Amino acid sequence: MGPAPEPEILVKKVRGRKHAHHHGGAWKVAYADFVTAMMAFFLLMWLLGATDEEKRKGIADYFAPTILPMERSGGSNGVMGGRSLEEPEGNAPHPQLSGLRPATPFQSRNTQSTPSELDRMREVAEAIRRRVESDPGLRDLGDQLRMTVTDEGLRIELIDKEDYSMFRSGTAEMDPRARALLGVVAEAVRDVPNRLAVRGHTDSVPFSGANGMNNWTLSTYRAEATRAVLARNGLGEERFSRLEGLADTEPLIPENPADPRNRRMSVTVLREASAAPSGPGK
């Protein structure tokens, strides 16, 4: 029997296409990032085209960094309605407070307080925020609390809203929760040396009460009621520099003078330069 035949060797040539090797899935991640970025870009362009200057400023203010955190991280449902400590220029009220939207961050422009006074005002504001935030009975009033640094000092405002008023209608009779909120303010300012100014504000709805009362007298009586509550909470007579009833002359919502949020009480922690009373014999 002869030798076995050698096996036949077949050579197969495979012509592969260029770039046929495996690329993996990294390109999918990069593409998804690109698509997301483009969606965000076109959304931004749409927002810029669909909003006016005032709304764009509100969006910018919302995302602006803040030095003093005055709100909870959860958004606009906490104390002060998610607003940071405000500082508009000069003593004028904030020009727009539509829905008590987030305000401009705390800064020190146009404020003549010394650094130590500004630190003191920050501490007072933060103490009030913490106390209201931790009190279940006061927490839902937090969005009616507005703190603003002006050339005059730290202005602490307690603001009415449509479904809650600090005073019984047409009177200087204060609601118990409003008294408790003023107690928190008194506690926060008790140990600071600055004097205080108390002001009452009404809306523009005409008021005519007994004995010829009007919005001027009503705002003055409410300012005195506010001062009296602060005094009962440990602030002596020497702490008060002035008391004013301003009726509806300085509305918080100027485009709607009848808005209930124009009804408010303000307690201003005065800068030392603003605390000295002026007038004859002073």
The model's pLDDT over 222-238, given as tens digits with 9 standing for 90+, comes to 999 999 999 999 999 99
C-alpha–C-alpha distance, residues 151 and 153, integer Å = 6
| 26-30, 110-114, 230-234, 270-274: range with lowest mean pLDDT | 110-114
C-alpha–C-alpha distance, residues 91 and 153, integer Å = 9
The model's pLDDT over 113-144, given as tens digits with 9 standing for 90+, comes to 566 888 899 999 999 999 999 999 899 888 89
The model's pLDDT over 186-198, given as tens digits with 9 standing for 90+, comes to 999 999 999 999 9
Contacts of 27 (CB under 8 A, 6+ apart): none
Query: What are the DSSP E strand ranges found in the chain?
Result: 145-149, 153-159, 196-201, 240-245, 264-270
Topology adopted by domain 70-275:
60s Ribosomal Protein L30; Chain: A; (3.30.1330)
Total-model pTM: 0.62
Burial of 43: CB neighbours in 10 Å, binned 0-12, 13-18, 19+: exposed
Length in residues, the chain: 282
The model's pLDDT over 44-56, given as tens digits with 9 standing for 90+, comes to 888 777 777 766 6
What φ, ψ does residue 42 adopt, rounded to 5°? -70, -30
In the predicted model, what is the mean pLDDT of residues 176-195?
Answer: 95
Domain boundaries, the chain: 25-63, 70-275
Strands 196-201 and 264-270: antiparallel
Q: Is 268 helix (H, G, I), strand (E, B) or coil?
A: strand
